[in-house]
Chains A and B, each alone.
Chain A
Amino acid sequence: MKIRWFNTLPVIIFIALLLCLWLGLGRDTNLLPSALLEKPMPVFTLPDLNNQPLSEKQWQGKVALVNIWATWCLPCRTEHPILLKLAEQGVTIYGLNYKDDYQDALLWLNQRGNPYQSVARDVGGLVAIDWGVYGVPETFVIDKKGNIRYRLVGILTEEAWQKQLKPLMDTLQEE
């Protein structure tokens, strides 16, 4: 077979492009840098599941995950069992229930189990804006002083936990 090298140029360029896209795919979907990295959590006071006021002060003191979720969010259904497993292993998880119905949220947690230490209900979605949330689900890692240290956009998968969140949380525990 006769191959002219000039004719192979398009396919070579394409492979280079594909490689870039593939690398981009691995990165972007997991990590969107937050403007709040290394900064304290935004101040808020919201009702919790018992309609008692809850503020960010109550989430300080431990290395923890803050998970933004909603009952209408489909990926949250995939994520929920993973959160439950982490909670069983002793990971502290706080929930920010985003633009949701109170009754729906209660029903969800009763039927599927509650992985959260406490849940702040952000009915209007304004607190989520302060956090820079861009789509549900999202998960933040906070340190003992209540500073945001990491932001994960999208589903918290087993892989993301093992590779990114767990190592980070282990080092934060030692700080």
Chain B
Amino acid sequence: MIPEIGHLALIIALIFAFLQAGSGLLSSDRAKRTWLTGVTPAFAFGQTFFLLFSYLALTYLFVNNDFSVAYVANHSNTQLPIYYRISAVWGAHEGSLLLWVLILSLWSTCVAWQLPKQLSKSVATQVLGVLGSISTGFLLFILWTSNPFLRLLPFSPEQGRDLNPLLQDPGLIMHPPMLYMGYVGFAVAFALAIVALWRGELERAWAQAARTWTLVAWLFLTLGITLGSWWAYYELGWGGWWFWDPVENASLLPWLVGTALLHSLLTVSSQGIFKRWVSLLAIAAFSLSLLGTFLVRSGVLTSVHAFANDPERGVFILILLGVVVGGSLLLYATRAHCLTSPECSLGLSRETLILTNNSLLVIACATVLLGTIYPLILDAMSQVKLSVGAPYFNRLFVPLAWLLMLILAVGPVSRWRQSFHVAVKPLLWSAMGVSVLIFLINVFVLQLFWQVALTIALGIWVVLGSTIAVWLRTQFHWQAMKHLSLRYYGMLLAHLGVVVTAVGVAVVSFYSIERDVRMQVDDSLALAGYVVTFKDVTPYQGANYKSTRGQFTLQLKDKPVSAYLFPEKRVYLAQGMPLAETAIDANLWRDIYIALGEPLDNTGETWAVRVYYKPLVRWLWLGGLLMVAGAILSVFSKKKKEQHENPLV
């Protein structure tokens, strides 16, 4: 019965979503229709309630191993630990889509609850209408092509096929929900933009509200991408942390545009300019999230994430994409001229810098998008199959990142509508001088690779720029520094996060040492000043896997043993799938990473072993976390304080 009840709840949720869309979009300021403003939030709550119910029903089926349901049978197993059975709900297509709409409805609920406090009730109702339409589309998609409650009768298997072992990992439990929170969160900014275009008005209050929503979505997306990269690093066993895989790119695209959006929203809220641009970016951020969903779910691109897919699904998502994105861009084409901005002066003002930042981010996004879909376009034109690899992305993306860091330093120092303050010009020139000097020392004295040297110098340039900005506002007086808003510190922290990530990327890319060696028990390997010794190898039995576990010791040359490492080679029983579980000794400055390969002889004492030395690799994710922390500070910043800041500017 439970599957049928879950299915029914899904259908009821669809009806509520449809009602939410209808009443929200038909509502207006006219007296005859004001009652719609009252009922729309109720529909949103109803939709959320039934989706939550349906989602919990599916979770219940997983927890109780109901293999008469096809989705459960294909992605769970009685041997699977309970926490993985709960996370297996979003382990594949049908369940992840259900999670997707559930999260969308949760965002709808938050909008119904919070947005009327920020903007007028009638705007909030129309935003709910747009969100309801998106929900309706996705619920139709689920019920039509991807229903997770379909039964396998009368052929119910005794045992399930088990969750893909790669997904049986704590890092991956939280990765998809975070990512979806981000993807779907951009729907709110999107809906706000649609309503603004529709009404032909985009005020500063609108931009402030939109910025908060975008910030929350952005911080979840950042966290999701960071988690995903960390997971790939230790779980896939190659020591890589970013592969420019289409699915990874799909998450990077909305992140880049979302970052641009966050910055240009500032310009709208403080200067009232860039209105059209901001509405276009808001549409683009969510469209790219949808495009990501399409790329991942339609199987149109060959990726490690894809399996032989159902073409019907692809067609449906494509139609959905066409209607949502095509429709909103058409709205933009016909209505954008209603959004008028006052004249803006260029010169080295903050708006110019933000415009530059936006152009760079959008170019970076276009570059990644082109690289991701180029194989597709080429195949459509000339039937040539190829894939675009890391060299393309690195060659184009890295210089753009450098340029971004170059202007990132002066952003916080700059002023609206005018060039830099006279007092900061000499300071900026000296900061520039220091950075150039550091670059030269790095290259000629320390003999670093010039790419690494440049990244470090740019990092210092950003840190110095931020310090000047704080000085300009407070002269480092404690009282004044206390009065700076949390938002300001959030901005500094997020910028610092960019620097930390960039330096981590540069160093780990150029100074990693990777050794694939044949090792016998008691063999030692010297690596970057460390000695790694293969001590033993023993069998081990896990809940749903068998494992061979190696024991390694790690020590600095001529020092006592500092760590024991236990890499494993697991075979998951249900699918017979082997998986290398890596062992990592981590600290802030370097990782020592060991993965067990294949046994090389019959005694089981000689193994292919991968030993990596990864300097500063933790900085990659530390930077991501700093960006998230910055965004959190900014979200919780009180508006009142901001009026007091800027004595000088």
Alpha-carbon gap, A11 to B327, bound state (A)? 9
Contacts A24-B380, A28-B299, A136-B308 known; 9 new A-B pairs at CB < 8 A: A11-B329, A21-B376, A24-B373, A25-B311, A29-B300, A29-B309, A32-B302, A72-B73, A104-B157
Rounded to whole angstroms, the CA-CA distance of A60 and B210 in the bound complex is 66
Contact for B373 among A21, A29, A136, CB less than 8 A:
A21
Decide if B334 is an interface residue (CB 8 Å cutoff). yes
Which residue of chain B is the closest to A68 with respect to CB atoms?
Answer: B308
Q: A72-B157, A99-B576, A125-B576 are in contact. Are A24 and B308 (CB under 8 A)?
A: no
In the complex, A29 Cα to B483 Cα: how many Å?
59
- Asked if B325 and A14 sit within 8 Å, CB to CB, the answer is yes
Q: Are B315 and A24 in contact (CB under 8 A)?
A: no
B74 near A17 with CB under 8 A, answer no
CA distance A138 to B307 in the complex (A): 12
**Residues 48-88 of chain B: 1 if any A CB is under 8 Å from the residue's CB, otherwise 0?**
00000000000000000000001001100000000000000
CB–CB A137/B302 < 8 A: no
A3 touches B (CB below 8 Å): yes
Q: Is B642 in contact with chain A by the CB < 8 A criterion?
A: no
B527 beta carbon closer than 8 Å to chain A: no
Chain A residues near B314 (CB-CB < 8 A): 25, 29
The 0/1 profile, CB within 8 Å of B marked 1, for residues 40-79 of chain A is: 0000000000000000000000000000000110110000
| B337 touching A4, Cβ below 8 Å | yes
Residue B604 at the A interface, CB < 8 A?
Answer: no
A11 B333 Cβ-Cβ under 8 A: yes
A132 located at the interface, meaning its Cβ lies under 8 Å from any Cβ of chain B in the complex: no
B388 sits at the interface (CB 8 A) = no
Tally of A-B Cβ pairs under 8 angstroms: 108
Q: Which of A4, A21, A136, A155 is in CB contact (< 8 Å) with B318?
A: A21
Taking CB atoms, residues of chain B closer than 8 Å to A154 are 308-311
Spell out A's residues near B (CB within 8 Å): 1-4, 7-8, 10-11, 14-15, 17-18, 20-25, 27-30, 32-33, 71-72, 74-75, 99, 104, 108, 124-125, 134-138, 153-155
Residue from the list A2, A11, A99, A137 in contact with B326, Cβ < 8 A: A11
17 A-B pairs with C-beta separation under 8 A: A4-B333, A7-B333, A7-B336, A7-B337, A18-B326, A20-B376, A20-B377, A21-B294, A21-B373, A25-B298, A29-B299, A33-B385, A135-B307, A136-B308, A138-B308, A154-B308, A154-B311
- The residues in B between 251 and 287 inclusive whose CB is less than 8 angstroms from any CB of A are 276, 280, 283-284, 287
A138 to B299 alpha-carbon distance, docked (Å): 15
The answer for the CA separation of A20 and B321 in the assembled complex, in Å, is: 13
Contact A137 B308 (CB under 8 A): yes
Measured between beta carbons, the chain B residues less than 8 angstroms from A134 are: 307-308
Contact with A along B323-352 (1 / 0, CB 8 A): 001100110111011000000000000000
Q: Given A15-B326, A21-B318, A25-B315, decide whether A124 and B74 contact each other with a Cβ distance below 8 A.
A: no
B322 within 8 A of A: yes
In the assembled complex, B169 has its CB within 8 A of some CB on chain A = no
Cβ 8 A contact of A75, one of B308, B318, B326: B308
Nearest 8 CB-CB pairings of A with B: A135-B308, A23-B380, A11-B329, A24-B376, A8-B333, A29-B311, A7-B336, A135-B307
Contact: B379 with A10, CB < 8 Å? no
Q: By CB atoms of chain B within 10 A, which of A29, A104, A137, A138 has the most? A: A29
User: In the complex, what residues of A have CB within 8 A of residue B333's CB?
Assistant: 3-4, 7-8, 10-11
Asked, given contacts A7-B336, A10-B280, whether A17 binds B373 with beta carbons under 8 Å apart, the answer is yes
Q: Give the distance in Å from the alpha carbon of A168 to the alpha carbon of B314 in the complex.
A: 26
- B161 an interface residue at 8 Å Cβ cutoff? yes
**Which residues of chain B (336-394) have a CB below 8 Å from chain A?**
336-337, 373, 376-377, 379-380, 383, 385
Given A25-B311, A29-B314, A72-B161, decide whether A11 and B379 contact each other with a Cβ distance below 8 A.
Answer: no
When C-beta atoms are compared, the residue in chain B nearest to A152 turns out to be B308
- Contact status B311-A11, CB under 8 Å: no
**Would B336 and A24 count as touching, CB distance under 8 A?**
no
- With the chains together, A84 CA to B194 CA distance in Å? 52
B308 x A153 contact (CB < 8 A) = yes
CA distance A24 to B302 in the complex (A): 11
Does B337 contact A2, Cβ atoms closer than 8 Å?
yes
Given the known interface contacts A2-B337, A21-B376, A24-B380, the answer about A10 and B329 at a Cβ–Cβ threshold of 8 Å is yes
Distance of A148 from chain B, by nearest CB (Å): 17
Q: What are the residues of chain B within 8 A of A124 when measuring CB–CB?
A: 576
In the bound assembly, the distance between CA atoms of A11 and B298 in angstroms comes to: 22
For B159, the closest partner residue in chain A by CB is: A101
Q: Does A10 contact B332, Cβ atoms closer than 8 Å?
A: yes
Expressed in whole angstroms, the Cα–Cα distance for A15 and B575 within the complex equals: 42
Known A4-B336, A75-B310; judge A18-B330 contact (CB<8 A). no
In the complex, per-residue mask of B287-313: 1 if CB is within 8 Å of any chain A CB, else 0: 100000010001111100001111100
Query: Does the CB pair B308–A27 fall under 8 Å?
Result: no
Across-interface contacts of B385 in A (CB, < 8 A): 33
| CB-based nearest B residue for A18 | B322
Report B-chain residues with C-beta under 8 Å of the C-beta of A29: 299-300, 309, 311, 314
Q: How far is the CA of A155 from the CA of B385 in the complex (A)?
A: 21
- CB neighbours (8 Å) of A32 from chain B are 302
Asked if B318 and A22 sit within 8 Å, CB to CB, the answer is yes
B552 CB to closest chain A CB (Å) equals: 30
Out of A23, A27, A74, name the residue touching B74 (CB < 8 Å): A74
- In the bound assembly, the distance between CA atoms of A96 and B294 in angstroms comes to 32
Kindly provide the distance from the CB of B339 to the nearest chain A CB, expressed in whole angstroms.
Answer: 10
- In whole angstroms, how far apart are the Cα atoms of A21 and B315 in the complex? 10
Alpha-carbon gap, A17 to B322, bound state (A): 10
- What CA separation (Å) do A11 and B308 show in the bound complex? 32
Q: Which residues of B are found within 8 Å of A3, using beta-carbon distances?
A: 333-334, 337
CA distance A1 to B576 in the complex (A): 64
Q: Cα distance A74–B294 when bound, in Å?
A: 22
Q: Which of B70, B311, B321, B332 is the one whose CB lies under 8 Å from A18?
A: B321
Nearest Cβ on chain A to B62's Cβ, whole angstroms:
17
Query: Do residues B300 and A21 form an inter-chain contact, with CB atoms below 8 A?
Result: yes
> Complex formed: what's the CA distance from A170 to B133 in Å?
49
Determine the distance from Cα of A7 to Cα of B157 in the docked complex, in whole angstroms. Answer: 56
